Structure 1
Amino acid sequence: MSASLERLIEIMARLRDPEKGCPWDREQTFETVVPYTIEEAYEVEDVIQQGDMPGLCEELGDLLFQVVFHARMAEEAGEFVFDDVVCAINDKMVRRHPHVFAEEKPGDWHQQRQAWEGHKSQERKQKAGYSGSGALHGVATALPALMRAEKLQKRAARTGFDWPDIAGASQKIDEELAECQSALQNGVKQEIEEEIGDLLFSCVNLARHADVDAESALRQANRKFSSRFSYMEGRLREQAKTIRQLSMEELDQLWEEAKLTGAGQRAT
């Protein structure tokens, strides 16, 4: 283990020291630290999208600190230590790459992907003491909804439950949109929520068939909207106006202006 990593582990132990540690760090539990762990993972994604390499270095450090934090709490509970975490991922990567670390003949990307999923499936069965658990067993419920929808669909697809091509996924969106519009006309809140959920789920399915990560696509759409909206606000400040003072036609014209400037487009 490198000296810098050992120092980080020591720093974490000092922060959690019952007598001389930081009061905030001492009070944390696995459950209270989870939101920070998730947040740090998203901040890694954010700096990557920005092409900010110094920022990536910093955010990866923050994410590593979260791993060390969880490992320290586990060590205090007598469950495992940081080195166990490292050993476990080392063993898993070697086990799942027999075409690299063993004598198996490497195939193409598709064959390797199938083998990878096969290894994961076998591991899940062994971990659960397999007793006929379903194909969707083990998909974490705490995942962001779009990401979980995609994982559920991929698991189901491996059993043969899937559209044969993207056309079926596209037609399903039309069907769900019609049902959503019908629910809106009925005005029943629970029905509206259910149909909008079905529509979103179908959109994830379309993204999957188009080989697009739905979660990443929505994040990019969020960034694009934020950038264009900020552009509109800036233009209106120059005119000493507010959004509420503009008609829908004027707002639409200003939005199109923001689009033409390239506001919100992914950097290349």
Structure 2
Amino acid sequence: MDDATAALRDLLSIMARLRAPDGCPWDREQDFASIAPYTIEEAFEVADAIERHDLPGLQDELGDLLLQVVFHARMAEEQGAFDFAAVARSISQKMIRRHPHVFGEAASRDTAEQNEAWERQKEAERSARQEIGTLAGLPRNLPALVRAVKLTRRAARVGFDWPDADAILAKLAEETAELRAELATRHRERLADELGDMFFVLANLARKLEIDAEASLRHANAKFERRFKAMEALAAAEGKTLADHELDGMEDYWRRVKEAERGA
């Protein structure tokens, strides 16, 4: 038995023990719905470790994510639905089916051709599951920004798309004007609707520019966090806090931090 097989077998045994009648009370109480948020959280922590180029952290986070797969598979096995082996066989079969240029007789492809073939195969699989329609099969629990990009990418495949980024920017200006018009009403539902339209257009713009919208926003979050902490450090060096300043004073700190970053 190789190391990977032995390690995976140990993990499966540990999960079975935790879910046993005399196992861990917390683990025994869980079900698919209660574990799902942890699964999503662990996937984001994997992405965070990658973003930080933290390979030791990535090893740890991948282990946490693998545990989620093992946990769900164990619960399904207890219900007689499927087990971990079935999960592994299913994804192996899918990878072989979606890569006929590697495992079959199809001609070799470049990346663009493979992406197109991949989408055609996924469409065929959705049809086999009787998921009919261009937008069928997109999970509703995806992060909203990710799902917006996927929705617009699906729509673009049948030609429902803006011709270029400039056209999307024009649409963004239109949506901005509509939001501005609603500001006077203070009608929360209409404001939320218009703001959602702006987010959706921005997701479209990211797709058109071939920029990962989620990664772009994570980068903006990290940049804001870094700069805000630097502002706090500047204030602390003067024996103050940001709350001791009016907005003009805080904006001066922000300008100084940005200038320092450009200088670096």
User: Which TM-score band applies after superposition, normalised by the shorter structure?
Assistant: over 0.9
In structure 1, the residue matched to 2:165 is 166
Query: In the alignment, does 2:1 pair up with 1:3?
Result: no
Structure 1 residue 28 displacement after superposition: 0.3
Structure 1 residue 56 displacement after superposition: 0.6
Cα deviations across residues 3-62 of structure 1 (Å, max 9, x unaligned)? 1100000000000001x2000000000000011111111111111111111111111011
Structure 1 residue 220 displacement after superposition: 1.2
Equivalent of 1:68 in 66, 70, 90 = 70
| Amino acid of the structure 2 residue aligned with 1:103 | E
In structure 2, the residue matched to 1:86 is 88
In structure 2, the residue matched to 1:152 is 151
Distance 1:93 1:256 in 2: 50
- Give TM-score, length-normalised by structure 1: 0.93
| Amino acid of the structure 1 residue aligned with 2:179 | C
In structure 1, the residue matched to 2:103 is 101
In structure 2, the residue matched to 1:230 is 229
- Give TM-score, length-normalised by structure 2: 0.95
Unmatched runs of 5 consecutive residues or more in structure 2: none
Distance 1:100 1:126 in 2: 23
Distance 1:101 1:141 in 2: 32
Query: In the alignment, does 2:19 pair up with 1:16?
Result: yes
Counterparts of residues 118-197 of structure 1 (less than 5 Å): 118-128=120-130, 133-197=132-196
Unmatched runs of 5 consecutive residues or more in structure 1: none
Equivalent of 1:53 in 33, 55, 61 = 55
Structure 1 residue 257 displacement after superposition: 2.0
Cα deviations across residues 171-190 of structure 1 (Å, max 9, x unaligned)? 11011001110111222211
In structure 2, the residue matched to 1:114 is 116
| Amino acid of the structure 2 residue aligned with 1:220 | H
Report SS of the residue matched to 1:186.
Answer: coil
Structure 1 residue 259 displacement after superposition: 2.1
In structure 1, the residue matched to 2:215 is 216
Distance 1:135 1:178 in 2: 31
Structure 1 residue 240 displacement after superposition: 2.1
| Amino acid of the structure 1 residue aligned with 2:230 | Y
Residues 154-163 or 242-251, more deviating: 242-251
Distance 2:217 2:43 in 1: 16
Q: CA RMSD in A?
A: 1.5
Structure 1 residue 248 displacement after superposition: 2.3
Distance 2:261 2:35 in 1: 38
